[in-house]
Amino acid sequence: MVSDYRKASVTEAERALLDFAVKLTREPAARTKLDVELLQKAGWSDRTILDLTLVISYFAFVNRIAEGLGVEFESSLIAQT
């Protein structure tokens, strides 16, 4: 799943969420109303879509801060994930 989630055995709802997460992370300005509608069609509630968007955006924000400051993780922490 880590190398290519599109090849993983996930539900349609999970696939829609993963597609949304990738788009929001890589091309946030390209997100459209259709992206949210696809999540709704897959069964995600508006509240859950909001929560998902907040979490995805928060991780992107924190990662950019860490990268911008040159934060290096201890190899022992990376091995645990």
pTM value?
0.78
Q: Could you tell me the domains of the chain?
A: 5-80 (1.20.1290.10)
C-alpha distances out from residue 7 to 10, 33, 34, 69, 81, Å: 9, 26, 23, 34, 21
**Local confidence pLDDT in tens for the 81 residues of the chain:** 667 888 889 999 999 999 999 999 999 999 999 999 999 999 999 999 999 999 999 999 999 999 999 998 776 555 555
